[in-house]
A = this chain, B = another copy of it.
Amino acid sequence: MVDFSMIEAAAGRLAGKARRTPLLRAPLLDALAGRRVYVKAECLQLTGSFKFRGGWSAISALPEEQRRRGVIAFSSGNHAQGVALAAKMHGIPALIVMPSDAPLPKLENTRAYGAEIVTYDRYTEDRDAIGEKLSRERGLTLIRPFDDEQVISGQGTVGLEIAEQAREEGIFACDVLVPCGGGGLTAGIALALEQKAPGFVVHTCEPQNYDDAARSLAAGERLAIEGHAPTICDAIVTPKPGELTFPVMKRLCGTGFAVTEDEVRAAMALAANHLKLVIEPGGAVALAAALFRRQELSGDSVIVVASGGNVDPELFARTLAAGGGR
C-alpha cells in the first residue's frame, strides 16, 4: 500500500520536472465565499492538470528496460496528456486509448505531445479490455489513471506542496476540498497531509450525478453510480472509487460534497474573473463547493484544489458569456 515515503520519493523524482503550482487567493472571491479561499492552481501544471505528476511518477519508477518499451494509458483526457508528455520527456513511446467523445483539445494536445491515439466508444466498448490487449501485444506497461501506487504517490506531491504553502500562509487547520474521480488525487493528498498537516481534513468534491465517492464514504463501502447522466465534468466521471484509493479515503477523508452543474459553471466564471485562471468543469467542483456549500464548512480559511484547466474553448466561452449561468 502507498505510504508517505513513496510520496516523498515521487517528489524527489518530480523535482525540476513538474511545476510547483501557486496557492492563489483573491480578496473579492473571499468576500463571496465568506472566508479566505486558497486555490491550489494545478491547472497551471504542465499539460494543464495535476495528472502530469502521476504520469511522471509512474514512468520514472519503472525499471529502465521496461520503461524503454513504452507505456499505454486509457483516459478521458488529462491522464492521457500527463502520460503523453511524461513519456515524451523520457524519450519513450506512449499509446493512449481515449473515448471518441473526449473534448477535442484533449485529443489534439495528446497527439501534439507525441502520443499515438486509439479511440473507443465509452458507452459500448470496454476500455480496460482494449487497453490490456494492446498492452500485451506491444509489450507496453499500462499506467492506470488512479489505481496505481506510483500514480497515487505522484498526485500526493500536490499535498506536500499544499502543506508547505499553507504553513507559509499561517494556516494550521482547515478543510481541503479536492475534485474526485477515481480518487488518486484525493488519496494522495490525504496521505501527504496526514503526515505534514494533520489538522487538515480532506473532502471529496464531485458533480451531483457522479457522487460515488461521497456516497461510498457515507456507506463505508465502494458504491457504484447507476446510469450515465450527462455532465460537463468529463474529467472526473468515474463509476466508483478505486480499489487502492478508497481504503485511504475511508480512513482519512471527511464528508464528501456534491455540486450542481450550474454551481460548477458559476465557479468557472468566478475563477476567470477573480483569479484569472481557466479551470475546466471537473477541476472547478471544489471551488464550487467552497462557494456554494459555505455553511457546511468551518473555519476562516479553506483550501481548494483547481485540478485542471483543459476545457473545450467553446464550452468555456459559453460559460463566461452566460455569467456562469447564475
Contact = CB atoms under 8 A, between A and B. Distances in A.
Contacts of A183: none
Nearest to A314: B321
Given A317-B317, A318-B317, A321-B317, A27 B272 contact: no
B112 A31 contact: yes
Contact of A22 (B44, B112, B275): B44
A279 B275 CA distance: 11
Interface string A8-46: 000000000001011010111001000000000101101
Given A22-B22, A314-B321, A320-B316, A28 B109 contact: yes
B323 A313 contact: yes
Interface string A262-291: 000000010011111111000000000000
Contact of A277 (B112, B113, B277, B317): B277
A43 B317 CA distance: 19
A85 interface: yes
B321 A112 contact: no
A313 B320 contact: yes
Interface string A282-326: 000000000000000000000000000100011011101101000
Interface string A70-113: 00000000000000010000000000000000000100010011
A279 to B, nearest CB: 8
Contacts of A316: 272, 320
A44 B31 contact: no
A48 interface: yes
Contacts of A318: 317, 321
A27 B85 contact: yes
Given A273-B313, A317-B320, A320-B320, A27 B46 contact: yes
- The 8 A-B pairs of least Cβ separation, nearest first, read A276-B309, A317-B321, A317-B320, A276-B278, A43-B276, A317-B317, A313-B320, A272-B278
Interface of A: 19, 21-22, 24, 26-28, 31, 41, 43-44, 46, 48, 85, 105, 109, 112-113, 269, 272-279, 309, 313-314, 316-318, 320-321, 323
